[in-house]
């Protein structure tokens, strides 16, 4: 297992991150615990959860399992979503953050969280209030590092600027949706992360299961892709473009002697700015297949083929800027 530094920090994390949204839900407690144990045995040290995954059950399973070797694990969780029915039971106010970090610490059975992430933007709470509350948690020792998830580029840049100006802890990472089937972050967020050295830890690296190659043209009757709405809805994934990407993925995977899931994860793990794709699994079989993405490299020509097949259409102002970047390069 390869290790990489998380953004502008000295924190080393494994090249794959174990996502736990299925724990206590589609994955049994026993299988969830076994996944964590095997992940650690294979050198994995980065585990991601959230306070709202299965109403906190995921955090409980993770905390109970890693307790004997807590200090070896880089433990990440999140805050922002609704956890109580009252008016202040949601968002990124100081009140909600402080209440929920205490609740997460209790469920996780630990006295500190390595990476505490805001789950999505909160347009009602002043950003200064959120960032100051997070900085206070770092100062108190309850949180080691902070990150964000599902942010627009301007939202992240605003947050980084405020933190830098005030001398507060800044986001070391962002958790966006990113895969061969969804490369939207490349329009603006990716270049910001590269410029500011913010580590990218993608969620849905297999497009909600679409890139595993298990599905044909017909809508599945179960699983995430069967849902009527959401980021992994079949209607969103099952496009002509994505099926063309999947065909190329199957071809590259076969040539590499790997499965489509392993190849899709490997492509993402080698993408610029990406630190550690977050993969999840409902069964041990899925988990072990995904773990086959670690410990090898996709050849440069194969990586480039997948990159070309899934590349976003050129857009403004990116193509305009690139034109004059080439002029500068010629003058060097």
| Residues carrying an active site annotation | 53
| Residues in Cβ contact with 252 at an 8 Å cutoff, skipping those fewer than 6 apart | 263, 298, 302, 305, 306
Distance between CA atoms of residues 64 and 7, nearest Å: 28
Token match 């999140």: residue? 78
Separation in Å, CA 49 to CA 142, 159, 250, 254: 17, 23, 30, 33
Residue 317: asked if its preceding bond is cis (omega within 30°), the reply is yes
Q: Under a CB-based contact definition with an 8 Å cutoff, are residues 6 and 145 in contact?
A: yes
Buried b / exposed e across 146-158, counting CB within 10 Å, b at 16+? bbbbbbebebbbe
Task: Supply angle C-alpha 27, 28, 34, rounded to 5.
Answer: 90
Nearest to 227 by CA among 247, 210, 202, 212: 210
């Amino acid at each position: 297992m390869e290790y990489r530094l998380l953004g502008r920090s000295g924190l080393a994390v494994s090249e794959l991150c174990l996502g736990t949204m299925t724990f206590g839900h589609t994955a049994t407690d026993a299988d969830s615990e076994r996944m964590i144990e095997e992940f650690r045995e294979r050198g994995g040290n980065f585990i991601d959860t959230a306070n709202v995954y299965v109403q906190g059950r995921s955090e409980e399973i993770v905390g109970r399992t890693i307790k004997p070797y807590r200090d070896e694990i880089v433990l990440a969780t999140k805050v922002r979503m609704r956890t109580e029915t009252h008016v202040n039971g949601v968002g990124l106010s100081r009140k909600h953050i402080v209440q929920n970090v205490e609740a997460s610490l209790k469920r996780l059975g630990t006295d500190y969280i390595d990476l505490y992430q805001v789950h999505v933007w909160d347009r009602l709470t002043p950003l200064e209030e959120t960032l100051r509350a997070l900085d206070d948690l770092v100062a108190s020792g309850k949180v080691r590092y902070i990150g964000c998830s599902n942010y627009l580029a301007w939202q992240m840049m605003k947050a980084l600027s405020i933190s830098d100006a005030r001398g507060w802890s800044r986001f070391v990472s962002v958790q966006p949706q990113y895969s061969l089937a969804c490369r939207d972050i490349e329009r603006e967020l990716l270049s910001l992360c590269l410029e500011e050295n913010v580590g990218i830890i993608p969620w849905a690296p297999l497009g909600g299961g679409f890139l595993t190659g298990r599905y044909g043209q017909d809508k599945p009757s179960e699983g995430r892709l069967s849902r009527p709405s959401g980021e992994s809805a079949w209607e969103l994934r099952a496009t002509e473009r994505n099926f063309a990407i999947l065909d190329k993925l199957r071809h590259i995977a076969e040539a590499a002697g790997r499965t489509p899931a392993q190849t899709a994860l490997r492509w993402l793990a080698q993408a610029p700015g990406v630190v550690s794709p977050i993969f999840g699994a409902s069964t041990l079989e899925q988990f072990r297949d995904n773990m086959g993405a670690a410990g090898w490299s996709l050849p440069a020509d194969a990586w480039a083929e997948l990159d070309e097949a899934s590349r976003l259409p050129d857009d403004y102002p990116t193509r305009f800027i690139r034109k004059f970047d080439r002029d500068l390069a010629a003058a060097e």
